[in-house]
Amino acid sequence: MSKNLIMIDHALKDCRSISAMLHGIADGRALAWQSFEESHPNISQEELMAQFCEEARYGRIAIKNEFFDFSYKKIIAALIAFLVIAA
């Protein structure tokens, strides 16, 4: 075995890891839990986890991503403005 071992952080390249989330290159899995948790503020943590598990199993989780909504509206507005100017 080599005595010159170099530690390499492979978690940064894995989009599912906490390291990637902290560096801003994650795939957005945490957004599903955060939006679900914000939409159910009066439920205990145990009930929230059980309900999230059931909702995720049947694909009924909706992610509220404000950045996506804003940029989507901005693109539509720019497209309409371009069509008005071009016509």
How confident is the model at residue 21, as a pLDDT?
80
**76 falls within a domain:** yes
pTM: 0.51
**7 falls within a domain:** no
**5 falls within a domain:** no
How confident is the model at residue 49, as a pLDDT?
93
Q: Domain of 71? A: 31-86
Query: Residues 71-84: what's their mean pLDDT?
Result: 84
CB atoms within 10 A of CB 36: 21
More confident residue, 87 or 56: 56
Condensed to tens digits (0 to 9), the pLDDT of residues 8-55 reads 777 778 877 888 888 878 777 778 888 888 888 999 999 999 999 998
How confident is the model at residue 50, as a pLDDT?
94
**9 falls within a domain:** no
Residue 21 half-sphere exposure, CB side, CA atoms within 13 Å?
Answer: 7
> Residue 18 has which token pair?
């906490």
Domain count of the fold of the chain: 1
CB atoms within 10 A of CB 32: 17
